[in-house]
């Protein structure tokens, strides 16, 4: 009987909640394959969610010892190794030349981060109205960081401030990043007129000296670390990846950062994040609320950037197309492509892609700095409450 029981252990340890988690994992895999929504991340996240919700959860732990995915989690997520390595690859793939050619677009990268703080306020308000939900201040801050539209930053902040919510926060961040082409256009249209969307912007092809491209990542790292010390690991490795690219003397390392390093780390990061979605922690009312608030965060981001552009236009002769503000989020390069597509729909000869890209790349820097500021300030405020 003991041998038979061991043989059928999968049936004896089956929970009906597994079926729900398999369905959720299947939906993520479907979105990755059929809809091409962030397939590099949603595919491994979806499969990781299925793996960790198998009977006995052997891939997570077994016999009191950590399993494969728990080892990856302990070594890559808790230590923040995977998000930092991902940023090396992102930095190597990022071209900051458009930002040099349109430096004032950097303000839109900062303005779009208002969504983080508006989302935090929204979570706190919900917790006050519905005490049974019971989000703590640090949990509210971790949920708010979804508004950064930056997956690695969301992982780092959630892991530091609210580890129990890491799974739903990460899934929300990456899912809505993939849905940016669906989320942003209605918000932009609702907040702008046709005339505003048809505003043309001058673009000057300014040649950027190589020395400026090399000094830039070093200077940004130093300034960001001084302003927000806890952002140093992410911003530093993002800029290191960019320095590898712009130096022009280590092309082999540049290609490795963009391809092998980024691809391997993405696989490990995705499947490990999926493994945090155990049914006992994921199937809660909080998870549904986080997913809904995550959508609100992306709406706030988009709206904040557009409103900032409209505000600037009150004081300038050369008007800025307000859609540029929506490109200030960190979802690169999707946000800038959406803005250009919408501009072309209104005027086939309107080319605002380069200013949009400038705002988009500045949003990448802004999201990391915002994450560092949140990590520095939130625990202090929490202790005062």
Crossing angle for the helix pair 137-144 and 285-313, to the nearest 10 degrees: 60
pLDDT of residue 6: 52
> Cα–Cα distance between 72 and 89 in angstroms, integer?
20
What are the pLDDT tens digits along the chain (385 aa)? 555 555 555 555 678 888 999 999 999 899 889 988 778 888 999 999 999 898 877 888 877 788 889 999 999 988 889 989 999 999 999 888 888 888 888 888 888 788 888 888 888 888 888 877 778 899 999 998 888 778 888 889 998 899 988 888 988 888 787 778 888 999 999 999 999 999 998 777 778 889 999 999 999 999 988 888 888 898 999 999 999 999 999 999 999 999 999 999 999 988 998 888 888 888 888 888 888 888 888 888 888 889 999 999 999 888 899 999 988 888 777 888 889 999 999 999 898 888 888 888 888 888 888 888 888 888 888 888 7
Short-list 79, 83, 375, CA closest to 229: 375
> Cα–Cα distance between 325 and 360 in angstroms, integer?
9
Placement of tokens 């922690």 in the chain:
281
pLDDT of residue 196: 92
For residues 238-272, b (16+ Cβ closer than 10 Å) or e, as one string? Answer: bbbbbbbbbeeeeeebbebbbeebbeebbebbbbb
Q: How far is CA 82 from CA 88, 206, 336, in A?
A: 10, 36, 26
C-alpha 148, offset from chain centre: 6
Burial of 81 (0-12, 13-18, 19+ CB in 10 A): middle
């Amino acid at each position: 009987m003991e041998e038979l029981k061991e043989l059928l252990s999968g049936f004896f340890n089956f929970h009906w909640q597994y079926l729900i988690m398999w369905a959720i994992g299947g939906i993520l895999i479907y979105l990755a394959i059929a809809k091409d929504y962030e397939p590099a991340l949603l595919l491994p996240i979806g499969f990781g969610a299925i793996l960790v919700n198998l009977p006995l959860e052997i891939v997570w732990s077994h016999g009191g010892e950590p399993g494969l995915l728990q080892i990856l989690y302990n070594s890559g997520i808790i230590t923040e190794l995977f998000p930092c390595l991902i940023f090396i690859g992102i930095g190597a793939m990022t071209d900051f030349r458009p930002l040099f050619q349109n430096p004032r677009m950097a303000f839109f990268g900062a303005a779009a981060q208002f969504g983080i703080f508006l989302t935090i306020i929204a979570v706190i308000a919900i917790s006050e109205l519905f005490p049974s939900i019971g989000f703590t201040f640090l949990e509210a801050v971790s949920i708010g960081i979804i508004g950064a539209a930056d997956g690695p930053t969301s992982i780092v902040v959630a892991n530091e401030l609210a580890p129990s919510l890491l799974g739903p926060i990460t899934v929300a961040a990456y899912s809505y990043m993939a849905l940016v082409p669906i989320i942003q256009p209605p918000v932009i249209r609702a907040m702008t007129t046709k005339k505003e969307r048809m505003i043309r912007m001058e673009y000057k092809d300014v040649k950027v000296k190589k020395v400026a491209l090399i000094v830039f990542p070093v200077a940004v790292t130093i300034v960001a670390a001084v302003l927000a010390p806890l952002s140093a690991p992410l911003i530093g490795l993002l800029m290191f990846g960019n320095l590898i690219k712009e130096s022009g003397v280590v092309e082999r390392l540049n290609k490795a950062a963009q391809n092998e390093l980024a691809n391997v780390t993405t696989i490990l990061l995705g499947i490990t994040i999926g493994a945090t979605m155990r049914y006992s922690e994921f199937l809660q009312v909080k998870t549904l609320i986080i997913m809904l608030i995550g959508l609100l965060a992306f709406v706030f981001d988009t709206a904040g950037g557009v409103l900032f552009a409209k505000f600037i236009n009150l004081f300038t002769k050369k008007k800025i197309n307000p859609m540029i503000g929506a490109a200030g989020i960190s979802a690169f390069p999707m946000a800038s492509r959406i803005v250009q597509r919408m501009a072309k729909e209104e005027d086939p000869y309107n080319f605002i892609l380069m200013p949009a890209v400038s705002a988009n790349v500045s949003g990448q820097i802004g999201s990391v700095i915002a994450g560092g500021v949140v990590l520095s300030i939130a625990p202090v405020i929490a202790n005062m409450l």
